[in-house]
Structure 1
Amino acid sequence: MSLFSELKLSVPWGHIAVKVWGSQKNPPVLCLHGWLDNANSFDRLIPLLPQDFCYVAMDFGGHGLSSHYSPGLPYHHQNFVSEVRRVATAFKWNQFSLMGHSFGGSVGGMFACMFPEMVDKLILLDSTPFLLDCNEMENILTYRRRHIEHMLQLEASQKPPRAYTSEELLQRLLSQNSHLNKDCGELLLQRGAKKVAEGMVLNRDRRISWPENSFDFMSKELFVQSARSLQANVLMIKALQGFYDVRRVHDEDRGPLLFMVDTLRSILKQRYQFVEVPGNHYVHMNTPQVVAGVISSFLQGLLPLSSQL
């Protein structure tokens, strides 16, 4: 499937950049990338999926080729959820499917609960529909304070982004994302960096460089209540060598994931599928053929084989 078009959707602070594969007359699938990634995250997966769908991969605000938020306007998880609604409005979709990797899955999950009638299928790639506060509650106020202080510091510094050579930038990305291979790192930088006189700089807004500026956490009680609102069929794909918590220090604690899987299975019943696959957090980029078959069957309404966690 060849790339059909690159579009810029107008928003009050500029534009949201999207990549479109296939005819817009086909059923739409909106693809949401992970934190600090961009729409190129899906370049290797989408050509392996059924061609009778229209796949739209968006850059979240402050990522990739999308506009940065206006000075003084902070980023919050809710903002990214609202961007999904803006994209759906721009394409005049009444109902569509969502496929999200990592952070994109949590944004998609929140949207599917807030606008349940609009989402018919939800695909979570090494992701969960929400982030639980199991290990975070005592730190929430600290995160919110740091969010404000970080934004004020960046506004006061007025320093231009640091420039690197192409190789330096690639090595920096790979050192910060040990699950990415070299080819996929280069693919993300094609959209996530640009040339300046001094070398290469990252496109992304520096205000999103800390996870607490973009993520949100919810209690188990709110998770259960939100899951009950889901009308979509849900496919959760868990990479066996992937991440289990947004904080690496808690990554051995699989309790929150088990709770979410059990809750979704109990509430959604036949509308929920859980599949474990070999690979790491970027399995959809590094070895997309591992997940393409499961996703294809799900999109086409076929029941994939479930693996028990």
Structure 2
Amino acid sequence: MFQFRTILKKCHNLKGVAQLSSYQRQFKEISIPVPWGHIAGKWWEPYDVRPILTLHGWQDNCGTFDRLVPMLDKNVGFLAVDHPGHGFSSRLPSGVYYHFSNYMITINFIRHFMNWDHISFLGHSLGGILSYTYSMLYPDRVDFAICLDGAKPMIRPNSIKYMAKALDLFHKYSEFADSPHEPPSYTLDEIKKKVSMPNKNSVDLEYTHFLMERNVAPSKTHPGKYYFTRDPRLKLGELLSYSQDELVQSAHDMTSPICIIKAKGGSYYEIKENFYEVLDVLKRTSRDCDFQYVEGTHHVHLNHPERVAGIIDSFIARHNVADRTTGGMVEKMVVQA
């Protein structure tokens, strides 16, 4: 698990990598058992209280929060996990599609393992959508949700055609996932550009190593090159299946506090009116719907965490009122380096 971290420390073209993500706040690598393997992640101190479950975006990993979490309230723990097939977490079994519901199931496995009665969320992109959707499904179970440039599930145009195409491609990507051969490999500079490029060059090149650490491994067949370790099946997307009418209606039942931070340089990934229609309902139904714009790209929380940290801390200060004395770290979760 930590081999690539050692390699990165020796790479002169990765600025500041020797500091990694623990230079301001301690964390422990953790592993939570699930039926198909384990969910990996980082638990940022304190360890003896129920943390805020922290969820990353599609094809990212929990390293995306390495610059943000150290800036946040030190009295609240943050459990940042890698989704199935991402980072250091186990892939779903062979032949299984990464459907959106599998992420909801994963959250429930974590909740049951930790014996949590309630959950607090901090999520980015897909992680924000998961946080929102869980709050929609279980409004009485969520203390609050903080969504960074991703909240309501998106309505995909031509969703039926997209689903048919994704299902047709599933066999191809399943073969890639099950292949004994290495995926394509690249130089570190090429890897950095591939991490930076999506979502309109969303990740600044100097911060790409925070995502690479848990997402890339050195090639055994091409010395000096690296390949992506995430599951190839993730490329097919999650097959969301909600209608706009359902989302608008469900928003009427979402009373728990929600904070939505929208990056001005990000995208909506759907007709933006869909988002604002739901937001208008949330402003009337939620006990506190805090919606704010910030300058930056889709990964503003990684590039410029100071732009969102104050908003997040203020929201947490208002709503961190639930009892967190139970649900702290279980010693058997800790991964020994």
Deviations 1:176-207 (A, max 9, x none): 34111012212100111112312311111000
Query: In structure 2, what residue type is equivalent to 1:26?
Result: V
What is the Cα deviation at residue 231 of structure 1? Answer: 3.7
CA distance in 2, matches of 1:183, 1:88: 35
Give 1:67's match in structure 2, choosing from 65, 90, 94.
Answer: 90
User: TM-score, structure 1 length as denominator?
Assistant: 0.88
Deviations 1:18-53 (A, max 9, x none): 100012323421111011100001110001110111
Aligned to 1:271: 288
Query: In structure 1, what residue type is equivalent to 2:161?
Result: T
Cα pair 1:236 1:275 within 8 Å, conserved: yes
| Higher mean displacement: 116-125 or 285-294 | 116-125
Give 2:314's match in structure 1, choosing from 292, 297, 303.
Answer: 297
- Report 1:184-203 matches (<5 A): 184-197=207-220, 198=222, 199-203=225-229
Query: In structure 2, what residue type is equivalent to 1:240?
Result: K
What is the Cα deviation at residue 98 of structure 1? Answer: 0.4
CA RMSD of superposed structures (Å): 1.9
Are residues 244 and 156 of structure 1, via their aligned partners in 2, closer, same or farther at CA, if it must alter by over 3 Å? closer
Aligned to 1:151: 170
What is the Cα deviation at residue 101 of structure 1? Answer: 0.7
**Structure ranking higher in strand proportion:** 1
Aligned to 1:220: 244
| Higher mean displacement: 63-72 or 194-203 | 194-203
CA distance in 2, matches of 1:74, 1:93: 28
Deviations 1:136-174 (A, max 9, x none): 2xx222222222221211334645311112222112222
Deviations 1:203-249 (A, max 9, x none): 11000113xx3241422221123223324200111111211225xxx
Query: In structure 2, what residue type is equivalent to 1:266?
Result: R
Aligned to 2:191: 169
Give 1:81's match in structure 2, choosing from 93, 104, 126.
Answer: 104
Query: In structure 2, what residue type is equivalent to 1:153?
Result: K
- Listed as ranges, the gaps of 5+ residues in structure 2 are 1-23, 321-337
Pairs aligned (count): 290
- Listed as ranges, the gaps of 5+ residues in structure 1 are 247-252, 304-309
Give 2:232's match in structure 1, choosing from 206, 224, 231.
Answer: 206
Give 1:234's match in structure 2, choosing from 253, 258, 261.
Answer: 258
CA distance in 2, matches of 1:95, 1:274: 23
- Report 1:103-118 matches (<5 A): 103-118=126-141
| Higher mean displacement: 11-20 or 111-120 | 111-120
Greater RCO (CA < 8 Å, at least 6 residues apart): 2
